[in-house]
Amino acid sequence: MAKQAMSFLETHLVQQGRLMVRYREGDVKHLGFIEDYAHMLSAYMSLYEATFDLKWLTKARAIAENMFELFWDKEIGGFFFSGLDAEALIVREKEVYDGAMPSGNSTALHQLLKLSRMTGRQDWIEALEQMFKAFYVDVSSYPSGHTAFLQGLLSQYAPKREIIILGKKGDPQKEQLLQALQKRFMPFDIILTAETGQELAHLAPFATDYNTINGSTTVYICENYSCRQPITDIDEAMEQLFHD
């Protein structure tokens, strides 16, 4: 159902590479705002985490690049509400208050920090850290009104790991581990999986040289991209992942 919903959005609400806001009976109107892009990015990230299909991660990276091009404030950081191609306004506003729905900046921060780690984009991480300064006064003066933004802040500074799982598609050991990971609440860890490191090269260059050992599913557990010895015993991998 999620894939069908995304297919509808991509078919009807993306025009010439630009995300739009409204679709009704074939009529499409209004350029998307930062919140639309941020939640679309969140959807792509969720689809990757549910399926581990790298195409969703590729699409997530593409929309992230568009977000920086259209909305990023190059002077002090943070995302403007409207894009560069929108109707010219006297002042381009930014929204960070989290109401019934998280703000575009809060959602963007949380998802982009995660995607930056998955793809090794240190330049994005450095840019996003500007947001902590740009919105410091707003957030610190009223923390309960910026809870989603604070989740992004927490995700940046909490202990976290990069988990890279390489092995043949359909391998029972690999599937067992992936299913176990999906059942766990591990909000600060990222998971990359493919058959080989080369398959990840275009998305996560730092993983290019990782290899399977003797053709077996191989697990790399890393912190700040510094990895332990690779593991081929899935029970040992789960012990380290879930009980360390």
- DSSP 8-state assignment for residue 206: G
For 54-81, what is each residue's pLDDT tens digit?
999 999 999 999 999 999 999 999 999 9
The answer to whether residues 128 and 184 belong to one domain is no
pLDDT score at 243: 85
The answer to whether residues 16 and 76 belong to one domain is yes
The answer to whether residues 74 and 173 belong to one domain is no
Q: Which two tokens stand for residue 85?
A: 């191609």
Q: How far is CA 172 from CA 41, 70, 181, 221, in A?
A: 31, 43, 14, 20
The answer to whether residues 10 and 127 belong to one domain is yes
The answer to whether residues 94 and 212 belong to one domain is no
Average pLDDT over the chain reads: 94
Last residue of one domain, picked from the residues 141, 156, 171: 156
Residue of 237, 239, 232, 238 whose CA lies nearest to 218: 232
pLDDT of residue 53 exceeding 80, the answer is: yes
The answer to whether residues 35 and 140 belong to one domain is yes
- DSSP 8-state assignment for residue 100: S
pLDDT score at 85: 87
For 76-88, what is each residue's pLDDT tens digit?
999 999 998 887 7
The answer to whether residues 57 and 122 belong to one domain is yes
pLDDT score at 87: 78
The CATH number assigned to the domain holding 195 equals: 3.40.30
pLDDT score at 90: 64
Residue 209 lies in domain:
162-243
For 105-147, what is each residue's pLDDT tens digit?
999 999 999 999 999 999 999 999 999 999 999 999 999 999 9
The answer to whether residues 76 and 197 belong to one domain is no
For 169-227, what is each residue's pLDDT tens digit?
999 999 999 999 999 999 999 999 999 999 999 999 999 999 999 999 999 999 988 89
The answer to whether residues 170 and 202 belong to one domain is yes
Q: How many domains does the chain have?
A: 2
The answer to whether residues 103 and 216 belong to one domain is no
pLDDT score at 225: 84
* Measured distance CA(67)–CA(185) in Å, rounded: 28
Checking DSSP bridges between strand 218-223 and strand 162-166, what pairing results, if any?
antiparallel
Last residue of one domain, picked from the residues 135, 156, 177: 156
pLDDT of residue 91 exceeding 80, the answer is: no
